[in-house]
Structure 1
Amino acid sequence: MRFLSRRLVMPNDLNFAGSLFGGRILEWIDEEAYIFASCQLDERSLVTKHIGAISFESSAYQGDVVEFGLDIKNVGRTSVSVTCMVRNKITKQTICVADDIVFVHIDSETRKPVAHGKTKEELLELKL
């Protein structure tokens, strides 16, 4: 898993208990996973189809730096599935894991799924 991006937890990211709001971290995960999938496929026309099991394991607080680890899980004809782990940059403690985020490549005009033309093997080679 490659940790590719970081965010600073700011006051407007907190819930009533003073920790990182779950909805905010889900927003970040969706955005980071889209950027990762888009870069891997070299395609911009992707939409989120599914976000599977999400496990919150620890909290983050104001001033913490969180980092996003992303990896390709599966590649379909029109889709790509990504795993995302969010962890504290300093302590390396896992904050959250989203194990199955599926993006579908769509035609920008018809908005219908179309093949992206990549295989899992090709995408894994990009890691080298």
Structure 2
Amino acid sequence: MRFHTRKWIKPQDLNPNGTLFGGRLLEWIDEECALYSIVQLENPKTVTKYMSEIDFKSSAHQGDIVEIGIEVSKFGSASLTLKCEVRNKMTRETIITIDKIVMVALGEDGKPKPHGKTEIEYVKDRLK
């Protein structure tokens, strides 16, 4: 799994128990998956269609640094299916896993639009 983004847990990210608020973490995951998919599919109109069971394994605290990992598991005709793991950067302890996140590329009409992609592309390879 490739870890793309790091987040520093600040006071505004905490729940009443003093640990990372799950909703904040899901917001970060959703944004990271959207950005990753938009770049991969080369379509700024890419949206989240589905997230499977979310498995919280541990918590994070103020001052912790977490990193978000994403891995492509499938290319559909208009979609991209991802796996996600968030872990504590310093301890490498897993905080959350999501086995299936489906992102869909949309056309101007707001309906799924085939993207023609079958494998991961890196920006550096597109620029050659």
Q: Provide the TM-score with structure 2 as the length reference.
A: 0.91
Distance 2:72 2:52 in 1: 14
Structure 1 regions of 5+ residues with no counterpart?
A: none
Specify the SS of the correspondent of 2:25. helix
Identity rate of aligned residues, in percent? Answer: 49
Q: How far off its partner does 1:42 sit?
A: 2.1
The 5-angstrom pairing of residues 8-87 of structure 1 reads 8-87=8-87
Runs of 4+ in 1 over 2 A off after TM superposition: none
Specify the SS of the correspondent of 2:87. strand
Distance 1:114 1:32 in 2: 21
Distance 1:39 1:46 in 2: 10
The 5-angstrom pairing of residues 95-106 of structure 1 reads 95-106=95-106
Structure 2 match to 1:88: 88
Structure 2 regions of 5+ residues with no counterpart?
A: none
Distance 1:38 1:73 in 2: 16
Aligned residue pairs total: 124
Amino acid at match of 2:96: C
Amino acid at match of 1:11: P
Distance 2:25 2:44 in 1: 22
> Is the 2:85–2:98 Cα contact (8 Å) retained in structure 1?
yes
Distance 2:29 2:69 in 1: 10
Deviations 1:42-69 (A, max 9, x none): 2211011001111000000000000011
Structure 2 match to 1:116: 115
RMSD (CA atoms): 1.5
> Is the 2:41–2:105 Cα contact (8 Å) retained in structure 1?
no
Q: Provide the TM-score with structure 1 as the length reference.
A: 0.91
